[in-house]
Homo-oligomer: A and B are copies of this chain.
């Protein structure tokens, strides 16, 4: 079994497949889950309350390591579904796998000037996760699609004022304390924490926090014929894609981008892949 991605979904898949006695090879990036690495505090993963995201990330990797699973820091540049197996194109060699799980997460687009500086200091990527830190404060939401409106509405119920920057059209109706700004973000500034959102027009908006909601799916061109739905890999309730033997789990398989969902889907994908291997014998 090959697994691409070593975030929560991929690691959960690996742990489950290994526990079922399958041979697992896993590919991933340096941090495995940049989103988890950056998360200030996570309270909604059952059994491990009030954990810093990075501690959770390390704990997950240790769990996998204790079962002999170590992610290879290597990119898979292409996947070819063959008759009865998958051919994975690596940097210097090819690898054959009976079954494959895609758990690559969703890539974040190129950061804005100042964006990385203020991550965890005013910049966040999930309103429903971090919104509670901005009760009665002033926040901005930058969104590439209409999904951001839900997050803006959620924040409007908590924050004193919400600036909403839609990078799309049209926008639905918003409560009184939401101001829609038709402009583009240019960058972020502040002393130790985020203080100002700078716009392309030259306007500067003073904020306590800013939620940057963007998405960009990798891998879609890497696996020919893979069916998508709304920019994510299309899966059924067993995490099966349209390609037999190919499964997906976690953020790449759809919203919400949440930890427990990813871990649960990783388990489901692994058990489906285990059944697939057994059916091929």
Contacts and interface: CB of A to CB of B under 8 A. Distances in A.
Interface of A: 8, 11-12, 15-16, 19-21, 43-49, 56, 59-60, 63, 66-67, 128, 132, 150, 153-154, 158, 235, 237, 254, 256, 258-268, 271, 275, 278
B59 A154 contact: no
Contacts of A278: 150, 153-154
Copies of this chain in the oligomer: 2
A198 to B, nearest CB: 31
Given A264-B260, A271-B256, A19 B46 contact: no
A49 B21 contact: no
Nearest to A57: B47
A103 to B, nearest CB: 12
A27 B255 CA distance: 28
Nearest to A58: B47
What 6 A-B pairs have minimum CB-CB distances, sorted nearest first?
A: A264-B264, A260-B267, A12-B46, A261-B264, A49-B63, A19-B44
B150 A275 contact: yes
A259 B19 CA distance: 14
Contact of A48 (B21, B47, B262, B266): B47
A46 B16 CA distance: 9
Nearest to A19: B44
A60 B19 CA distance: 22
Given A21-B132, A48-B48, 18 more contacts: A11-B46, A12-B44, A15-B44, A19-B43, A44-B267, A49-B67, A154-B278, A235-B237, A256-B271, A258-B268, A258-B271, A260-B266, A260-B267, A261-B267, A261-B268, A262-B264, A263-B264, A264-B265
